[in-house]
Amino acid sequence: MAADIEEQPAGYARLLSTANAGEVARVAAAVAERRPRHVVFTARGTSDHAALYGAYLAEIRLGLPAGLASPSAVTLFGARPDLSDALVIGVSQSGGSPDLAEVLRAARASGALTLAVTNAPESPLVEVAELSIDIAAGHERAVAATKTYTAELLALLMLVEGIRAGDGVLPAAEREALAALPELAARTLADDTPAQLAPRYRFARQLVTTGRGYAYPTAREAALKLMETSYLPALAFSGADLLHGPLAMTDPEVPVLAVVGSGPGGRSMGEVLPRLGERRADVVVVGSADVPGATRLAVPEVDERYAPLLDILPLQRLALALALTRGEDPDAPRGLKKVTATM
């Protein structure tokens, strides 16, 4: 898991290389030409959180309604929704789960434009999709996904911005901003604060993660990583939902990891953090700015769209360090396999 985490800056550079970026641009141009009226994602596990990020991008950057499909509606209940005007995107590191392939198969039969985003270009998901993007993350050693998650995020960002451009070619300013990500990711990973923080939560019994907008998928992915590597019950809430009731469970014994960016989503967390302070919660903030009364996992300041590619990195390292501190093996979580097949 440690090796996979450290490879992420190189993974960003690889996906942004001329050849891989050109392939994403080609797919984006093909999607733009079809002019879908809405976007539907289908995914499981970690990839579900990447898909949620993609849904935020589609709605905010493309102005298209977007959501996540329920694979069981197709596989268990035999539903065949009319997706004739939709772009349906299957996101999967392995491309091997039969339910996701079945959703794309049914969507394509109904007239949808289908796209597979995966680390396995020879997978069943790619076979059933009309278009595909190889996230080019390379072999992932650990069961817990890290580098494939961030590669999915970057691929979806490049795809959406390419669709927005119309011809798949990103504006020069966008390309320049993305080109800085590998170095920013390396700088973020060089900070040893996550390892220093891990002993503080060695005996934690539960934990809360929170964020809004683009940061919400990061909160959900951080919770999953903590659960599957440290077996620590972790509940993820949007900042807004946290105020609608779950705030009552926070206290000095329930650590809170809050992802706070520099854009509208991050600013809205200004309503949440004082309420956590009133509850005397143990708060750790992931972001570029100091928050009074909270420990900070520092990340460089970037456009809020890009922040999920950096914010998750110290949280991955925290999950790894906490698992080791608690005497667990993060490379082989009990009961889990790298590829999970569901229907």
In order, the DSSP letters of 287-326 are ESS--TTSEEEE-----TTTTHHHHHHHHHHHHHHHHHHT
> Is residue 335 over pLDDT 70?
no
Cα 49 to Cα 152: distance, rounded to the nearest angstrom: 10
Residues 270, 275, 280: CA angle, nearest 5 degrees: 125
CATH 3.40.50.10490 domain span(s) along the chain: 2-179, 188-325
- Long-range CB pairs of 72-80 (<8 Å, 24+ gap) are 72/99, 74/99, 74/102, 74/103, 74/106, 75/99, 75/102, 75/103, 75/343, 76/343, 80/106, 80/109, 80/110
Answer whether 156's CB lies under 8 Å from 55's CB: no
For 2-179, CATH gives 3.40.50.10490
Answer whether 182's CB lies under 8 Å from 16's CB: yes
What does the longest C-alpha to C-alpha distance in the chain come to? 55
Cα 198 to Cα 323: distance, rounded to the nearest angstrom: 9
At 339 the pLDDT is 61
Give the 3-state secondary structure of residue 283: strand
pLDDT digits (tens, 9 = 90+) for 180-213: 999 999 999 999 999 999 999 999 999 999 999 9
pLDDT digits (tens, 9 = 90+) for 47-99: 999 999 999 999 999 999 999 999 999 999 999 999 999 999 999 999 999 99
> Is residue 331 classed exposed, middle or buried when 0-12, 13-18 and 19+ CB atoms within 10 A define those classes?
middle
Answer whether 200's CB lies under 8 Å from 318's CB: no
Query: Any idea which residue has 């059933």 for tokens?
Result: 128
Beta 131-134 vs 234-238: how paired, if at all? unpaired
pLDDT digits (tens, 9 = 90+) for 229-247: 999 999 999 999 999 988 9
φ/ψ of 118, rounded to 5, equals: -155, 160
Q: How confident is the model at residue 307 (pLDDT cuts 50, 70, 90)?
A: very high
Over residues 215-235, the mean pLDDT reads 96
Answer whether 235's CB lies under 8 Å from 248's CB: no
The CATH architecture of the domain made up of 188-325 is 3-Layer(aba) Sandwich (3.40)
Work out whether the CA dihedral 239, 178, 131, 83 comes out positive or negative.
positive
The CA R_g of the chain, rounded to the nearest whole Å, is: 19
